[in-house]
Chains A and B, each alone.
Chain A
Amino acid sequence: MLIQFFIPSKLSSSVYNEITNWAQLIYAFALIVGVFGLVKYHLGRVSRKSDGWIYNLVTVVSLFLMAFLGFAFGRKDGGAFMWIFNYFQAPMQASVFSLLAFFVASAAYRGFQARNTEAVLLLLSAVFIMFGIASVGNSIPPFAEIANWILMNPSMTARRGIFIGVGLGTIAVSLRVILGVERTYLGKE
């Protein structure tokens, strides 16, 4: 992949295309291995009647039901597969995600307290961002400007730092692997 980028040629391009094809194939097979592991784990808990085994059974039954419906009747709009997707899976997942608002509110009341300087900074940032983004605060220029300043300066600086750190770390690890210094992925010390 690296050679293809710096020395483009017909040969390196075809190798590059083959590698990207293989990457997708390997990933598809990894999904099969993942499904096998998932089924094995959950069926094991069902057979041992572990705590909450009924939920493990629901997981396995749901998995096979959706697979059966998809393979047997297709994924066409209005079919059984899409009906379960639209009226079970989507509302259930969205509901679980929506619960966050309630738990965050409870946590904000109990835990978001000005115990020290760092907590005060965090608290003020949160209040200004929330107020500045909400329609009411967003219409009041000072709040909108302060929220925007926090997002575009301290927040973006921290995010840039993380990106640069991750980038340098990736290069360092890649070099260690290429030069044979890093061998832990082979199971060696």
Chain B
Amino acid sequence: MGFWQRARYIDRRIIFLLMLLGVGLPLLTNIGLPVRVTRDVGNVYDYIEGLNPGDVILISYDHDTGTLPEMIPMSDAILRHAFSRNLHLVGMALRAEGTAIGRQNFRRIGAEYGREEGKDFVFLGFRPEITAAILGLGTSIERVFPKDDRDIPISEIELMNTVRNYGDIALVISISDDDTPVYWVNYANARFKAKVVPAVTAVMATTFFPFIDSGQIRGMIAGLKGAAEYEKLIKIPGRAGRGMDAQSIAHMVMIGFIIMGNIAYFMSRKGK
């Protein structure tokens, strides 16, 4: 077996090791690669920046724990921006695991800004059956969520006295690792004219480009890159910036593998 033939069938543990170095080293050091803000993320920032203090944003945690490293920096950046602008936040989840994730995030970032649960923000909890839940919110939030996540009746929560349905919500953000934001677009936007923004994993981004083009969504935050762009816009460095260094180097390693794999493929064919 010639050199190129052996190179084609290289031990996969070498590939794993190089990938580990590509991902691990940037996380241990602070490279600080540049981040360029794209139009879609800028649109989300501008829209939230244009809201008045006291306006309400509904954030739905529609993902599970598998994608936490990609979703949490995104959620942190949005929450920091909203709390710093004195906006009111209503949280919920259309995935069971999103309940614990969202509730903890709301309380953690809310505490950073001294915000009070029930007055400045509220977390409603989880509801199954996406379509019925999204449609139900358009008629009455209290009908879908009679109590919040702490088991306090909605009627007894100060913030919820003025928030009855999508008409009282300035923006809906679905933080998701699947196509749940499509349901928000189809039912909350198309049916009730709610303004929707998907904050999704990078692999899901292409699903939502047609909705940006048609004006059905205000913008989009996609993947760790989107989160890093948002951190740059709010001028608060977070985990996304460092994660983006690792992702960028990992992409370079991957491109290197593709080029090397093809060289080995053509050279071994030439040698036959």
A contact residues vs B (CB 8 Å cutoff): 13, 16-17, 19-21, 23-24, 26-28, 31, 75, 77, 82, 85-86, 89-90, 93-94, 96-98, 101-102, 104-106, 108-110, 112-114, 123, 126-127, 130-131, 133-136, 138-139, 144, 151-152, 155-156, 159-160, 163
Is B233 in contact with chain A by the CB < 8 A criterion? no
9 shortest A-B CB distances, which residue pairs?
A135-B33, A23-B132, A27-B129, A134-B248, A134-B251, A97-B66, A109-B257, A135-B248, A93-B66
A20 touching B68, Cβ below 8 Å? no
Q: Are A24 and B225 in contact (CB under 8 A)?
A: no
Whole-angstrom CA separation of A96 from B245 in the bound complex: 21
In this complex, how many residues of chain B approach chain A with their Cβ under 8 Å: the count is 63
Q: Quick one: which of B83-142 are within 8 Å of A by CB?
A: 97, 99-100, 103-104, 107, 127-129, 131-133, 135-136, 139
Knowing A24-B128, A130-B255 are in contact, say whether A98-B16 is a contact too (CB < 8 A): no
Consensus secondary structure, chain B interface: helix
Does any Cβ of A come within 8 Å of B167's Cβ?
A: no
Find the B residue at minimum CB distance from A17. Answer: B139
The one of B10, B104, B225, B249 in contact with A133, judged by C-beta atoms closer than 8 angstroms, is B225
Does B209 reach chain A (CB closer than 8 Å)?
Answer: yes
- Minimal beta-carbon separation of A74 from chain B (angstroms): 9
Which residues from chain A contact B129 at a C-beta distance below 8 Å? 23-24, 26-27
* A20 adjacent to B262 (CB under 8 Å): no
Given A17-B143, A77-B107, A136-B248, A109-B260 contact (CB < 8 Å): yes
Does B65 sit at the interface, judged by CB under 8 A? yes
Q: How far is the CA of A160 from the CA of B257 in the complex (A)?
A: 32
A105 proximity list for chain B (CB < 8 A) = 15-16, 18-19, 253-254, 257
Inside 8 A of B65's CB, which chain A residues have their CB? 85, 89-90, 93-94
> In the assembled complex, which residues on chain B have CB atoms less than 8 Å from the CB atom of A106?
12, 15-16
CB distance from A182 to the nearest CB of B (A): 21
Determine if B206 and A156 form an interchain contact, defined as CB atoms under 8 angstroms apart: yes
- How far is A130 from B253 in the complex, measured between Cα atoms in Å? 10
Beyond A112-B258, A112-B261, is A139–B36 a contact (Cβ under 8 Å)? yes
Q: Which residue of chain A has the shortest Cβ distance to B69 in the bound complex?
A: A94
In chain A, what residue has the closest Cβ to B23? A101
Check A163–B210 contact: CB distance below 8 A. yes
Known pairs A20-B139, A112-B262, A126-B258; list 14 more (Cβ under 8 Å): A17-B143, A21-B132, A23-B129, A24-B133, A86-B104, A102-B15, A108-B254, A109-B260, A110-B9, A114-B262, A127-B258, A156-B206, A159-B209, A163-B210
Tell me the bound Cα distance from A65 to B140 in angstroms. Answer: 35
Q: Are A123 and B258 in contact, CB atoms less than 8 angstroms apart?
A: yes
A131 contacts B251, C-beta separation under 8 Å: yes
Residues from chain A with a CB closer than 8 A to the CB of B258 are 108-109, 112, 123, 126-127
A131 to B259, CA, bound (A): 13
Can you offer 17 A-B residue contacts whose CB atoms are under 8 A?
Answer: A24-B132, A27-B128, A89-B65, A94-B66, A96-B66, A101-B250, A102-B15, A104-B254, A105-B18, A105-B257, A106-B12, A114-B265, A130-B255, A136-B248, A138-B34, A139-B36, A152-B213
Q: State the Cβ distance, A154 to closest chain B Cβ, in Å.
A: 10
